[in-house]
Amino acid sequence: MNQIIVLIVMAVVSFSSCSKERKAEKNDQQKMGEHGTPANWKFTLPQGNPAEGRKVFVEAECHKCHEVKGETYPTITKGKGDVGPELSQMAGMHPLEYFAESIINPNAVIDHDAKEKGYVGEDGKSKMPDYGDVLTVKQISDLAAYLASLKGEAHKGH
């Protein structure tokens, strides 16, 4: 008698969980047909202008912390904590969206050796400010295009 009850309970439990799964699947498919996110969708940054981006780089004083070998920017007074990676080899290193993320959310990716290099403060956070409130999407797209164009000193003039 007990065994029969156990069997019935198991059957009911497995049936109900199964039908729930099926319902969820159907909902997902319905959503896809209306306002769902296409399966291979990815965020793409608007096309930027590298020459404009260079201007933004100087205006926003990115060169306070970032050297770009082969580039000369207006002289700027550096503070003690104004350090950052040299950026002349950025071309081909990252997609545009990665550059945009480094500018609007510097803490999203921090190098494992950032502490030794002095790139992070006592709190473990990047010394780079977050520019989300300061720069427009166009400026960020232009900056990303500029960074993506930096092929290093060796390639200058070719």
Burial class of residue 110 (count of CB atoms within 10 Å of its CB; 0-12, 13-18, 19+)? middle
List 66, 68, 100, 142, residue binding ligand HEC (CB under 6 A): 66
List 126, 141, 145, 150, residue binding ligand HEC (CB under 6 A): 126
Cα–Cα distance for residue pair 12/118, rounded to 1 Å: 60
128 interacts with ligand HEC by CB under 6 A: yes
Question: Please, which residues have CB within 8 angstroms of residue 85's CB and are 6 or more apart in sequence?
Answer: 66, 117, 119
119 interacts with ligand HEC by CB under 6 A: yes
> What string marks each residue from 77 to 106 as x (binds ligand HEC by CB under 6 A) or -?
-----xxxx-------------x--xx--x
Q: Which stretch binds ligand HEC (CB under 6 A): 7-15, 43-51, 126-134, 150-158?
A: 126-134
Q: Per the structure block, which two tokens stand in for 50?
A: 């590298």
Q: Which stretch binds ligand HEC (CB under 6 A): 4-12, 27-35, 39-47, 76-84?
A: 76-84
Q: Which is closer to ligand HEC, CB of 58 or CB of 154?
A: 58
Q: Site residues (CB under 6 A) for ligand HEC?
A: 57, 60-62, 64-66, 82-85, 99, 102-103, 106, 110, 114, 119, 126-129, 131, 143, 147
